[in-house]
């Protein structure tokens, strides 16, 4: 490990940050577009159209769509093409049931390995959320907050699955900015406090309430939408 080489770190990193293949690029871009709401639910994704937009052939598009299908972000019907998955109450319920199972588990496994640095980072994110008004950015920060507390679990698949469903939930929320605009900051603070004192039972309980509250808000939104 020579000292002179360390200066290359940043360059290598940013080089590695670039996409190694067109399919990767398309997948990441479409994923972002779907989750951010830029592509509305139900939007048909025509391969030819995407190909011209991305300035490449249909092939990388096809492979990217296949991967998004496996991730549950698009619905694929043979010979009929792909559409952005719809947002329904049933899906939201489903998502919350999964999150309510995964997140407490991740928290339990992570809690014993959390240190002062992690709590400080969590506090920082909470503060950032306080100062933020852009809903898209708030969703991103909310996700970062949760994942910060789970990260020490050290189980990559559990964490990836958890984050995936957190991101999906964020997508639901993005379509009902209606709520008070508060992401449950009181609960966020209570959660960090419980974690700091190492109280697993309390932490899991707070997290459970936090998720239940988010679910209630979303259910209310769907009820309101159905009523109009």
Partner DNA sequence: TGCCTGTCGATTGGATCCAATCTAACAATC
Partner DNA sequence: GATTGTTAGATTGGATCCAATCGACAGGCA
Q: Which is nearer to DNA, 12 or 212 (CB)?
A: 12
Partner from a copy of itself, DNA, none contacting 72, C-beta within 5 to 8 A by type: a copy of itself
Q: Between residue 37 and residue 66, which ones bind a copy of itself under the rule CB under 8 A?
A: 62-63, 66
Q: Which residue has tokens 């830029």?
A: 38
Q: Let me know: does 189 contact 145? Beta carbons within 8 Å.
A: no
Provide the H-helix boundaries in 89-155. 89-110, 116-130, 135-150
Residues 6+ apart with CB under 8 A from 8: none
Residues 6+ apart with CB under 8 A from 224: 178
The answer to whether 21 contacts a copy of itself (rule: CB under 8 A) is: yes
Partner from a copy of itself, DNA, none contacting 157, C-beta within 5 to 8 A by type: a copy of itself
Neighbouring C-beta atoms of residue 88, cutoff 10 Å: 12
Partner from DNA, a copy of itself, none contacting 175, C-beta within 5 to 8 A by type: none
Partner from DNA, a copy of itself, none contacting 47, C-beta within 5 to 8 A by type: DNA
Q: Let me know: does 58 contact 47? Beta carbons within 8 Å.
A: yes
In DSSP terms, 44 is beta-bridged to: 83
One of 105, 179, 185, 219 touching a copy of itself (CB under 8 A): 105
Single out the residue of 143, 153, 166, 168 nearest to residue 200, CA to CA.
Answer: 153
Partner from a copy of itself, DNA, none contacting 45, C-beta within 5 to 8 A by type: DNA
CB of 125 to a copy of itself, least distance (A): 24
Q: Which residue has tokens 């290598």?
A: 12
In DSSP terms, 84 is beta-bridged to: 74
CB of 104 to DNA, least distance (A): 37
CB of 88 to DNA, least distance (A): 20
The answer to whether 80 contacts a copy of itself (rule: CB under 8 A) is: no
Stretch that binds a copy of itself, among 8-16, 19-27, 129-137, 141-149 (CB under 8 A): 19-27
CB of 221 to a copy of itself, least distance (A): 19
Q: How far apart are CA 73 and CA 225, in angstroms?
A: 22
Q: Let me know: does 167 contact 111? Beta carbons within 8 Å.
A: no
Q: Which residue has tokens 């159905």?
A: 226
CB of 175 to DNA, least distance (A): 24
- What residues make contact with a copy of itself under the rule CB under 8 A? 20-21, 23-24, 62-63, 66-67, 69-72, 78-79, 90-91, 93-95, 97-98, 100-102, 104-106, 109, 153, 155-158, 161
């Amino acid at each position: 490990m020579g000292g002179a080489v360390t200066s290359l770190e940043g360059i290598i990193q940013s080089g590695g940050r670039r996409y190694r293949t067109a399919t990767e690029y398309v997948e990441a871009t479409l994923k972002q577009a779907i989750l951010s709401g830029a592509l509305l639910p139900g939007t048909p994704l025509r391969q030819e159209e995407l190909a011209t937009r991305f300035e490449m052939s249909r092939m990388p598009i096809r492979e990217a769509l296949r991967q998004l299908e496996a991730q549950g972000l698009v619905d694929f019907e043979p010979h009929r093409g792909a559409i952005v998955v719809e947002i329904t109450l049933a899906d939201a319920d489903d998502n919350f049931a999964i999150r309510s199972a995964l997140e407490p588990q991740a928290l339990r496994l992570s809690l014993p390995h959390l240190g002062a640095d992690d709590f400080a980072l969590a506090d920082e994110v909470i503060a950032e959320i306080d100062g933020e008004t852009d809903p898209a950015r708030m969703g991103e920060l909310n996700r970062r907050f949760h994942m910060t507390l789970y990260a020490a679990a050290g189980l990559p698949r559990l964490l990836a699955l958890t984050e995936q469903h957190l991101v999906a939930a964020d997508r639901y929320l993005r379509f009902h900015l209606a709520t008070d605009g508060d992401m449950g900051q009181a609960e966020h603070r209570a959660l960090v406090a419980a974690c700091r004192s190492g109280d697993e039972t309390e932490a899991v309980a707070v997290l459970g309430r936090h998720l239940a509250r988010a679910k209630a808000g979303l259910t209310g939104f769907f009820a309101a939408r159905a009523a109009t």
